[in-house]
Amino acid sequence: MPELPDVEYFRKYLNSTSLHKKIIGVEVKNSKIIGRVSPAALKKHLNGSKLKITKRHGKNLFAGLSNKKWLTMHFGMTGYLKYYKNKEDVPGHVRLLINFDNGYHLAYDCMRMLGRIDLVDDLSGYIKMKKLGIDPIEDKLSFKEFSELFNNRNGSIKTGLMNQSILAGIGNIYADEILFQADIQPGSNIKKLNEDDLKKIYQKMNSVFKKAISVNADHEELPGNYLLTHRKPGEDCPKCSGKIKKQTIGGRSSYFCNKHQKKK
């Protein structure tokens, strides 16, 4: 699930549950999800410290520690956070567990283990090292800047939107949603899009993310004319009388309406 709106929700979740509490224990359940830092060093720096502040860049969540280090979290395809107290609330695939002095626990759960947690000194260095592009929401991207990102680019617009080194935060689901709302087929070539097409994509990117963030990325709460809850081949298009088609673009399943979404 974790694309930009989901991670923004995780950030708020962390803010409302886990800040300013003393960490009294850290359990690395599976070291595969730990990045460059060693599990021992991670434990050493977390223990006795507190989470003070949160930031997000694209699909990455950062928590600033009272000892000046930053905890970085990426959620892969199946990661999420769970703050709980009672044993019966332990999620099924905990990879990292942080214990607070109030008896509560913060679990990083990641079934498929494609997510990563790390500890760094310098956030901008981390973002550079990961080659992350601009965060369209956090960095308040203008249309001019957006449009310039796609100058002299090749490939499909969907692949471009999902390229994290161009824009950080758009994944498969929201790329489909933005293009569905912008009435442009995901397989359209970037070079064939005109200024108006790009403007529409820019505007829909902002409105879709704003809406998704406002409902904490809960799909059930999204408007009825969103593709998200109709992402199945043969399903009726929620915007027109067309049917939803499925096609592989850039190696990923893409869903779109071939009636109101124009192929360029």
Using CB under 7 A, list all residues that contact DNA: 1-3, 6, 32, 58-59, 74, 76-77, 93, 111-114, 130-131, 153-156, 159, 162-164, 171-173, 246, 250-253
Q: Distance between terminal CA atoms of the chain?
A: 29
Q: Which helix (H) or strand (E) holds 64?
A: strand 60-65
Q: Is 36 helix (H, G, I), strand (E, B) or coil?
A: coil
- Least Å from the CB of residue 30 to DNA: 8
Is the CB of 23 or the CB of 34 nearer to DNA?
A: 34
Residue 92 exposed, middle or buried by CB count within 10 Å (0-12, 13-18, 19+): exposed
Q: Which two tokens stand for residue 201?
A: 């994509």
User: How far apart (Å, rounded) are the C-alpha atoms in residues 247 and 172?
Assistant: 12
**Which residue, 59 or 239, is less far from DNA as judged by CB?**
59
Tokens for 25, please give them: 């224990």
Residue 2 or 204: the one with the smaller Cβ distance to DNA is: 2
Nearer to DNA, 151 or 241 (CB): 151
Nearest to 18 by CA among 67, 80, 63: 63
Shortest reach from residue 174's CB to DNA, in Å: 7
Q: Which C-beta is closer to DNA: that of 162 or that of 193? A: 162
Angstrom distance (rounded) from CA 52 to CA 66 = 6
